[in-house]
Structure 1
Amino acid sequence: MLCFFFLVYYLSSAACSELLSRHRRSWIIDSFTIEEGHPGPFPYVLGKITIDRDYQVRFDLYGEGMDEEPKGVLTIDKESGTLYVNRAVDYEEKTVLKLRFEAMNTDSSIDTKLGVEIGISDINDNPPRFQRDLFEISVDEDATQGSHVQTMVAYDKDERGTPNSTFHYEIKSVSPNHPDTEFTIDSQSGTMSFKGCLDHEVAEMFTVVVEAKDHGDVVSLSSSSTVIIHVQDGNNHLPAISGQTGSGKVKEHEIGTSPLRLHMTDKDTPNSAAWRAKYTIQGDEGAHFKIETDPDTNDGILTVVKPLDFEEEALRELTISVENEAPYFSCKVKERPPSGLWKVETSKGDVPPPDTVKVSIEVEDVNDPPVFSVSVKEVALEENAPIGTWVEKVTAVDPDSRDFVYKVGSDPAGWVTVDPQTGDITTVGTPDRESLHVSDGFYTILLHALDDGVPPMTGTATLNIHVTDQNDNVPQPTVDFVDVCVSDGPSSINISAFDLDDHPYAGPFTFELLGDVKGKWKLNPSHGYTAGLVKEPGVYSGPHTVDVKISDMQGQFAVYNLSVTVCDCSVTPNCRDPRSTATTAAPGALAIVFASLLLIMCLLLMAVFMTCRKEFAPMPPSDSSGDTLLPSNIENPGTDCKVVVPDDIVAWFTEETHSDPSNWGGQHHGIKHSNFSKEMEQNFIYEHLVLDMSHLYNENWNQTSWRSLRANGHHHTHQREEASTMNFHAALQALLHQRLSSLQGKEADLLDYEPHVYAEEGDFDVLSELENIILPDKDSYQKALNNLGPKFKQLASIRKPPHIQN
């Protein structure tokens, strides 16, 4: 608590002491100003800081000009307070130096602080400066005096609002100095203009020097800028036509030719708008001509764009004038007063007439073609009109009054002729509306009128003959054969017809069946463009011929023999495509064959497996008359696997062969039957009978069939000693008989099978001839086949085997 009391007393005493001492202090600081660009010598005394005090203090100075930029300008004597300037300063760099003065006690404590600003006085050390030293501009020659040319702008860096930064503009020189042109500039704004007239032909360019000068008291500074003024040429000279070249002649009906070329002169700048010419044609009724400007020479080129007619006008008079693209003007100085604009005279709005010239174009006569009075004409002519029928008459006129004749130019079918003198058209052929040369009922011919000029000229007219229809064609079916499917009920197929004639000589048609068709065929419907041919259930499969009568609306008719094939569509989708039948049946037949072979192989393997033994046991002899095979021990040992043949087959075969040895009289496979051994006999039985009998087993044979075969007309009491002459013929004959019997029994099941129909036999009274086939030596055989006619291809399709027909 005692310490806090002393601290408060000390601080309050110090504060009171400071307040009392401040009343005793007195600062005396002069107003300091540094002159810009002072020449020296340096350092020089700027001033002194004086203070009335009872104790010693020291002075310090900080800020711009001391330890801040611009550094080193000022220094201060710390004891006396004298200020020194060490170097020159630039007003444009710094206008005021801001510093801080400090008074220091002897104990280095700060007595007080004070901010001080030292001003820098400006001098006229900067002239006015233009934005650029050189300006280049263009002015039109027809510009009116007083028009703005250019605005000059300058700037002075000296102190604003003082004479050092105040300046004015003035023109120092103009080159060339033309008496009719004077350039001026506003001294305050710098706006340039001119008085009088500009003339490109007198002065294409002016060089003007403009000066900006300030108003400094001690010294006046200035700078200049150059302005180059290009005078753009205007149209102050009229073009003049100087001459013409060319024949001045043009042939009638000819276009694109240039009979005339006009030449002109102009004092304005070439290739400028003031120099380029524009030509105008007057007196060109019908717009037959045009005139264009040659871009290189400025000549006017006259060209024919529409054919001229000598008979209408043989000589054409034209007036052609010329002017420039840019409008014409003129300017002339009348008076030059000392102030204000000059008095000038201009011709804008009062343009003199353009230069004109009259030209004559001669039209040369050429041979004109005859002209038909009607170029396209339409007439009517009935088809089948008799030869010599008058069709129409055409007339033509030749503009040159030359002789001419009429001719037929185009007559594709050769139906007409034209009288060369009168133009009457008559028929020389029979018109047929159904001809290929008739389109939409019209037959077109071209007629010519050919004169005798040099060269001869031809006029053309078109005659469209409308060939009217007659009922000269009977209806025709679209096809001459149809296919009908077999069914339990009636089945039908559509029959369509067409007629080359037009309405009302065509459809809808009436269809009628002729001949004995009751219970077999009928029509439903029987009227229209398509009829339905209905097959009754009683019609058998196979080819049939139906007579169909087809009548048009006028009763014209024809009878046609329609080939109808009836087949089972479930087996043969296309009755006339034998390959499809073969293709359908082939998989079933192959399946039966493969099944039979598989069954035979299984039976043989079972037989081999059951008869294989490890040791050979010879067959014991027996005298029994009921035995089937003769006893024999001629086989050599060593074979432990034998094929066993059923006993009833072997016994039957042995008995049959023993019954009649005389039936064996020949050779089989090159071996005499009378010399067969027992082993060869068994092998032959297996190869030629067992395999066949296995196949017969597949055809539902059984043991009863075998027994009946043995008992059918054969005797069992023959001697067994005749077994060496086996009778194979009887056995084979019996097997073939049974096989044929089985096939005949199955034929009744094949109800839908019919022999293949290659083609209908047709009418015996109509004999068709086949084409002659010539095979050139150079051509290939295949190429010759491809080029054969339709008759030969029809024969080839009939004779082609079923498996390769399409």
Structure 2
Amino acid sequence: MLCFFFLVYYLSSAACSELLSRHRRSWIINSFTIEEGHPGPFPYVLGKITIDRDYQVRFDLYGEGMDEKPKGVLTIDKESGTLYVNRAVDYEEKTVLKLRFEAMKTDSSIDTKLGVEIGISDINDNPPRFQRDLFEISVDEDATQGCHVQTMVAYDKDERGTPNSTFHYEIKSVSPNHPDTEFTIDSQSGTMSFKGCLDHEVAEMFTVVVEAKDHGDVVSLSSSSTVIIHVQDGNNHLPAISGQTGSGKVKEHEIGTSPLRLHTTDKDTPNSAAWRAKYTIQGDEGAHFKIETDPDTNDGILTVVKPLDFEEEALRELTISVENEAPYFSCKVKERPPSGLWKVETSKGDVPPPDTVKVSIEVEDVNDPPVFSVSVKEVALEENAPIGTWVEKVTAVDPDSRDFVYKVGSDPAGWVTVDPQTGDITTVGTPDRESPHVSDGFYTILLHALDDGVPPMTGTATLNIHVTDQNDNVPQPTVDFVDVCVSDGPSSTNISAFDLDDHPYAGPFTFELLGDVKGKWKLNPSHGYTAGLVKEPGVYSGPHTVDVKISDMQGQFAVYNLSVTVCDCSVTPNCRDPRSTATTAAPGALAIVFASLLLIMCLLLMAVFMTCRKEFVPLEPSDSSGATLLPSNIENPGTDCKVVVPDDIVARFTEETHSDPSNWGGQHHGIKHSNFSKEMEQNFIYEHLEDMSHPYNENWSQTSWSSLMANITPIRQPLKKIDIYVNLFVQREETSTMNFHAALQALLHQRLSSLQGKEADLLDYEPHVYAEEGDFDVLSELENIILPDKDSYQKALNNLGPKFKQLASICKPPHIQN
């Protein structure tokens, strides 16, 4: 402190009005120190700044600890220059306070400006701190002693390089404390390891408390962190086969079945690699089996993956072993020296033999199909061979020594048969190499061998028959017409031919012209697959016929009439072009013709419809007799009557007429025979007939009635409806009047038979209740139904009333009305 005052005095007084008058000087002085965490009391005097002057000065202090962070730490007496500390400071927050000191004259001019640094002395107020308070790690059970487990890292905020920031690591506690396991830590690096052996079954988890402690002179501070070490289970227990379940049987030729399941126990942690079992099969010649591990139970499931044959081996002996996915290991502590690693005995790599078991799989016999000695066979057969020709013999053997027969499975053309006992194949049809069933000269059939087992089994063989060719086809031209151009000199065209037979029974062909062709036609060339037909200049234009003989290489030939058209090619490049044009145009012309005809027909139909359309206006009846009368406003009565006789009317009327036609004689009303007009030939419409006079034709006969029935189109309707429509196709002959009368008679007969009166018209007959609906206990006899005689119908016809007369006057032609 004294040195500081001398220095300030020397600097401020060294000669110096010249210094003060010319410029100001700044100084940095490091002479004051504040102790970190001073307990007080506050404020206390840190020191005093004294400048020797002949005049009075004032002191000011600026910077850290004054008007900058950390604010309020220092104050200065402006008159005396004494420094005061107002509160404790933290070394870890600021290690030095940098300030500016100014001495000012009374006129406020600066006398001296100095830079001042006040140091903060560190004390041991921070313990070492770990990155985390809790660490959680995993270590494999089969880890070797001395291996790295965890590295602990701590940090002290005190001043570096001092005892306050120097620390070391140590283990304070381990839980559980197992005699075969000891955890250690390097005091300087913080690296953790262990001595001895880890055993998951003894201790699944260790809790280790690690402490970091500094080397402070006055006081030593420390902190701790907890490390939780999980011991992952290793394979230190071998799996053992505890039993088996399943039938141990499998049917031959069957795959995918599981005849056996092995059960295994293991003391290691379930669902870990040390617990999961891995099975191996020995003695499986042919690789017929596989064994898989059930992920839930750890059982071994034996499955058939390749068909077994009872005839080869009925009993299969297998050896199955089991081990774990993780390799086996063991560790045992032998000696615990005070320093260094312990002496342990491990068996890692020295694996004891796995647990094994022998199993027997019984193969059950099933009906095997017969087996052909050759499944695919190829033979030759001459085309057109006679029926009964021997083709080949097939042979099959039944593995079960059962009886079997041969059959033809597929014979598309039906050419062969097979002896069911011997397998001899013979023809029952004529082979044709040109048949569509022959492909590339081969005809394929399928043969079956069917045994008598339950169920019966079938073996199949394929027979490819090579049908050798014969010269059974003659050459043919590719076209039956050619075109030749007219010219002053010779002109030619080509004639091509083909043959369905194969070499050497086909081309090249020999062409020859027959008939009187000298000076008209010739061939050049005349040999090959195509010949040149040459027209001599003397041949006129138009169609010609040329006889051409075409022979194959073996002399087989045929003669063809070839149509040749000679035309002027300067007009049309091809003689067929006009015809082609006509052919092309024909559909368009036909379409136009048909469209025109259709339009004309539509117009005719519209004209007929508009001419024949009638407008009906309903007329109110004069009284309510219960029936409906359809009035008509037709200009000529009787031209709009359409009558359709139902089948039952025709049948009933025919019966009565055939039995006694004279019964209708008394009903004649004087209607004379006359020819119908064109209007009368139309159909008559009778709707809701209630009353009608009954015409009669005394010349009516059974033959006339039959003729009428042939011209009637019946329409079936319920008899309860009174509406009756009868279509009469009236012939334009004299007998049409008789037919008309007969139809009216049939209608009246039906009408009289089906009349239903109202309750008021039922005379004196009251309804009689015979039984209630659903009552089956009471059975009553029905009364007899009395039908009136035929005379009653005739009497009813004579008294049909005025309404019928009005209707009859409408429907009758004028020349027969009374």
With the length of structure 2 as denominator, give the TM-score of the two structures.
Answer: 0.67
Contact 2:667/2:794 (<8 A) preserved: no
Per-residue deviation, 1:292:
0.9
Q: 1:158 to 1:473 in 2, by over 3 A?
A: same
Query: Which residue among 758, 761, 765 is the counterpart of 1:749?
Result: 761
Contact 2:692/2:748 (<8 A) preserved: no
Larger deviation, residues 675-684 vs 335-344: 675-684
Per-residue deviation, 1:359:
0.2
Per-residue deviation, 1:401:
2.3
Larger deviation, residues 756-765 vs 236-245: 756-765
Q: 1:396 to 1:13 in 2, by over 3 A?
A: closer
Larger deviation, residues 172-181 vs 547-556: 172-181
Q: What is the alpha-carbon distance in structure 2 between the residues aligned to residue 302 and residue 268 of structure 1?
A: 24
Contact 1:661/1:727 (<8 A) preserved: no
Secondary structure, counterpart of 2:581 in structure 1: helix
Per-residue deviation, 1:77:
2.1
Q: What is the alpha-carbon distance in structure 1 between the residues aligned to residue 535 and residue 752 of structure 2?
A: 37
Q: What is the alpha-carbon distance in structure 2 between the residues aligned to residue 457 and residue 606 of structure 1?
A: 75
Contact 1:608/1:644 (<8 A) preserved: no
Larger deviation, residues 316-325 vs 515-524: 515-524
Q: 1:747 to 1:126 in 2, by over 3 A?
A: closer
Q: What is the alpha-carbon distance in structure 2 between the residues aligned to residue 698 and residue 534 of structure 1?
A: 87
Q: 1:673 to 1:796 in 2, by over 3 A?
A: closer
Count, aligned residues: 799
Larger deviation, residues 770-779 vs 15-24: 770-779
Larger deviation, residues 279-288 vs 701-710: 701-710
Q: 1:170 to 1:670 in 2, by over 3 A?
A: same
Per-residue deviation, 1:91:
0.7
Q: What is the alpha-carbon distance in structure 2 between the residues aligned to residue 449 and residue 13 of structure 1?
A: 138
For residues 750-780 of structure 1, give each alpha carbon's deviation from its aligned partner in whole angstroms, at most 9, with x where no partner exists: 9999999999999999999999999999999
Contact 2:672/2:816 (<8 A) preserved: no
Per-residue deviation, 1:346:
1.8
Q: What is the alpha-carbon distance in structure 2 between the residues aligned to residue 188 and residue 697 of structure 1?
A: 146
Q: What is the alpha-carbon distance in structure 2 between the residues aligned to residue 598 and residue 644 of structure 1?
A: 32
Q: What is the alpha-carbon distance in structure 1 between the residues aligned to residue 342 and residue 458 of structure 2?
A: 76
Secondary structure, counterpart of 2:686 in structure 1: helix
In structure 2, the partner of 1:606 is: 606
Per-residue deviation, 1:568:
4.2
Q: 1:488 to 1:258 in 2, by over 3 A?
A: same
In structure 1, the partner of 2:328 is: 328
Secondary structure, counterpart of 1:242 in structure 2: strand
For residues 566-595 of structure 1, give each alpha carbon's deviation from its aligned partner in whole angstroms, at most 9, with x where no partner exists: 344565666567766769999999999999
With the length of structure 1 as denominator, give the TM-score of the two structures.
Answer: 0.68
Secondary structure, counterpart of 2:461 in structure 1: strand
**Structural mapping, 1:699-778, within 5 Å:** none
For residues 349-386 of structure 1, give each alpha carbon's deviation from its aligned partner in whole angstroms, at most 9, with x where no partner exists: 22111111100001111222222222222222222223
Per-residue deviation, 1:215:
1.9
Q: 1:278 to 1:615 in 2, by over 3 A?
A: closer
Q: 1:590 to 1:403 in 2, by over 3 A?
A: closer
Per-residue deviation, 1:725:
53
Q: 1:612 to 1:104 in 2, by over 3 A?
A: closer
Contact 2:167/2:214 (<8 A) preserved: yes
Q: 1:115 to 1:778 in 2, by over 3 A?
A: farther
For residues 256-307 of structure 1, give each alpha carbon's deviation from its aligned partner in whole angstroms, at most 9, with x where no partner exists: 1111111111121221111111100001111111111111211111111111
Larger deviation, residues 118-127 vs 95-104: 95-104
Contact 1:151/1:192 (<8 A) preserved: yes
Larger deviation, residues 369-378 vs 593-602: 593-602
Larger deviation, residues 151-160 vs 693-702: 693-702
For residues 615-659 of structure 1, give each alpha carbon's deviation from its aligned partner in whole angstroms, at most 9, with x where no partner exists: 999999999999999999999999999999999999999999999
In structure 2, the partner of 1:716 is: none
Q: 1:170 to 1:235 in 2, by over 3 A?
A: same
**Structural mapping, 1:299-698, within 5 Å:** 299-569=299-569
Contact 2:496/2:531 (<8 A) preserved: yes
Larger deviation, residues 50-59 vs 489-498: 50-59
Q: What is the alpha-carbon distance in structure 1 between the residues aligned to residue 274 and residue 60 of structure 2?
A: 81
Per-residue deviation, 1:98:
2.1
Per-residue deviation, 1:388:
2.9
Q: What is the alpha-carbon distance in structure 1 between the residues aligned to residue 410 and residue 739 of structure 2?
A: 93
Q: What is the alpha-carbon distance in structure 2 between the residues aligned to residue 523 and residue 794 of structure 1?
A: 95
Q: What is the alpha-carbon distance in structure 2 between the residues aligned to residue 126 and residue 548 of structure 1?
A: 127
Q: 1:318 to 1:330 in 2, by over 3 A?
A: same
Q: 1:9 to 1:124 in 2, by over 3 A?
A: closer
Q: 1:663 to 1:259 in 2, by over 3 A?
A: closer
Q: What is the alpha-carbon distance in structure 1 between the residues aligned to residue 763 and residue 440 of structure 2?
A: 55
Q: 1:338 to 1:799 in 2, by over 3 A?
A: farther
Contact 2:693/2:805 (<8 A) preserved: no
Contact 1:666/1:672 (<8 A) preserved: no
Secondary structure, counterpart of 2:805 in structure 1: helix
Q: What is the alpha-carbon distance in structure 1 between the residues aligned to residue 423 and residue 148 of structure 2?
A: 83
For residues 318-375 of structure 1, give each alpha carbon's deviation from its aligned partner in whole angstroms, at most 9, with x where no partner exists: 0000111111112223333333323322221221111111000011112222222222
For residues 3-28 of structure 1, give each alpha carbon's deviation from its aligned partner in whole angstroms, at most 9, with x where no partner exists: 99999999999998537999999999
Q: What is the alpha-carbon distance in structure 2 between the residues aligned to residue 514 and residue 758 of structure 1?
A: 103
Per-residue deviation, 1:408:
2.4
Contact 2:545/2:562 (<8 A) preserved: yes
Larger deviation, residues 742-751 vs 20-29: 742-751
Contact 2:470/2:501 (<8 A) preserved: yes
Per-residue deviation, 1:720:
56
Contact 1:26/1:53 (<8 A) preserved: no
Per-residue deviation, 1:146:
1.5
Per-residue deviation, 1:151:
0.6
Q: 1:245 to 1:696 in 2, by over 3 A?
A: closer
Larger deviation, residues 384-393 vs 591-600: 591-600
Per-residue deviation, 1:518:
1.7
Per-residue deviation, 1:730:
62
Larger deviation, residues 650-659 vs 139-148: 650-659
Q: What is the alpha-carbon distance in structure 2 between the residues aligned to residue 778 and residue 761 of structure 1?
A: 36
Larger deviation, residues 796-805 vs 505-514: 796-805
For residues 397-428 of structure 1, give each alpha carbon's deviation from its aligned partner in whole angstroms, at most 9, with x where no partner exists: 22222233333222222222333333332333
Secondary structure, counterpart of 1:708 in structure 2: helix
Q: What is the alpha-carbon distance in structure 2 between the residues aligned to residue 29 and residue 92 of structure 1?
A: 22
Contact 2:168/2:214 (<8 A) preserved: yes
Contact 2:328/2:349 (<8 A) preserved: no
Q: What is the alpha-carbon distance in structure 2 between the residues aligned to residue 276 and residue 116 of structure 1?
A: 76
Q: What is the alpha-carbon distance in structure 1 between the residues aligned to residue 237 and residue 667 of structure 2?
A: 137
Contact 1:483/1:564 (<8 A) preserved: yes
For residues 649-675 of structure 1, give each alpha carbon's deviation from its aligned partner in whole angstroms, at most 9, with x where no partner exists: 999999999999999999999999999
Per-residue deviation, 1:603:
38
Contact 2:549/2:558 (<8 A) preserved: yes
Q: 1:516 to 1:706 in 2, by over 3 A?
A: farther
Contact 2:658/2:702 (<8 A) preserved: no
Q: 1:423 to 1:651 in 2, by over 3 A?
A: closer
Point out where structure 2 has 5 or more consecutive residues left out of the alignment: 712-730
Q: What is the alpha-carbon distance in structure 2 between the residues aligned to residue 657 and residue 478 of structure 1?
A: 74
Per-residue deviation, 1:515:
0.4
Contact 1:632/1:678 (<8 A) preserved: no
Q: What is the alpha-carbon distance in structure 2 between the residues aligned to residue 71 and residue 767 of structure 1?
A: 129
Contact 2:319/2:357 (<8 A) preserved: yes
Q: 1:89 to 1:778 in 2, by over 3 A?
A: farther
Q: 1:431 to 1:650 in 2, by over 3 A?
A: closer
Contact 1:496/1:529 (<8 A) preserved: yes
Point out where structure 1 has 5 or more consecutive residues left out of the alignment: 713-718
Per-residue deviation, 1:34:
0.7
In structure 1, the partner of 2:59 is: 59
Larger deviation, residues 90-99 vs 483-492: 483-492
Q: 1:605 to 1:777 in 2, by over 3 A?
A: closer
Contact 1:542/1:565 (<8 A) preserved: yes
Q: 1:740 to 1:72 in 2, by over 3 A?
A: closer
Larger deviation, residues 179-188 vs 356-365: 179-188
In structure 2, the partner of 1:263 is: 263
